[in-house]
Amino acid sequence: MGGQDGIGAAPDAHTIEALARATIAKLPQAFAEHLGDVVLLIEEFADDETLASLGIEHPLDLTGLYHGRPVGEKSSMDSGALPDRIHLYRRAILDEWIETGVRLDELVAHVTIHEIGHHFGLSDDDMHALEDAVADA
């Protein structure tokens, strides 16, 4: 049955993670050096607690989230802290992919870079420049 209607299976968490890791691999070296201990997590949706803390009502409205302290705010006193985490929410990404028609690799790159931008405390303009650099890599 599968495939005859021209619609394949939705990309799974492994596909989303591979696209995100490919994006990270294309980052300029200065960024990549600081991302070594950042954990990348692919989840179906954000949990209710996360959504409530951000004032977001619907789980499909959150495609990604950075948990941790930006690079400039870290100190040697953080040694017992959990590693920084980038969460990508598969169902929300797929929903946006279907709604916008943007290529999946470009959308995952956009969300990944946006969350990495939070890690580095980047402005929106800096994030756009980083996206352009990765797209050209």
pTM above 0.85, yes or no: no
Predicted confidence (pLDDT) at residue 116 exceeds the cutoff of 90: no
Residue 2 lies in a domain: no
User: Tokens for 27?
Assistant: 């980052």
pLDDT digits (tens, 9 = 90+) for 14-60: 999 999 999 988 888 878 777 777 789 999 999 999 999 999 999 99
* pLDDT of 134 higher than 90: no
Q: Is residue 127 part of a domain?
A: yes
Structural domains counted in the chain: 1
User: Could you read off the pLDDT of 53-93 as tens digits, one per residue?
Assistant: 999 999 999 999 988 766 666 555 555 567 788 999 999 99
Residue 110 belongs to domain spanning:
13-68+83-136
Assess if residue 3 is contained within a domain: no
Q: Is residue 46 part of a domain?
A: yes
Query: What CATH number should be reported for the domain holding residue 61?
Result: 3.30.2010.20
CB atoms within 10 A of CB 46: 24
Average pLDDT on 111-118 reads 90
For residue 63, which phi and psi values (nearest 5 degrees)? -95, -25
Binned at pLDDT 50, 70 and 90, residue 130 comes out as confident
Interhelix angle 124-136/104-120, rounded to 10 degrees, is: 130
Would you place residue 136 in the very low, low, confident or very high pLDDT band (cuts 50, 70, 90)? confident
CA separation (Å) from 13 to 29, 41, 91, 136? 26, 9, 9, 25
> Which stretches of the chain are DSSP H helices?
13-25, 29-32, 48-54, 90-100, 104-120, 124-136
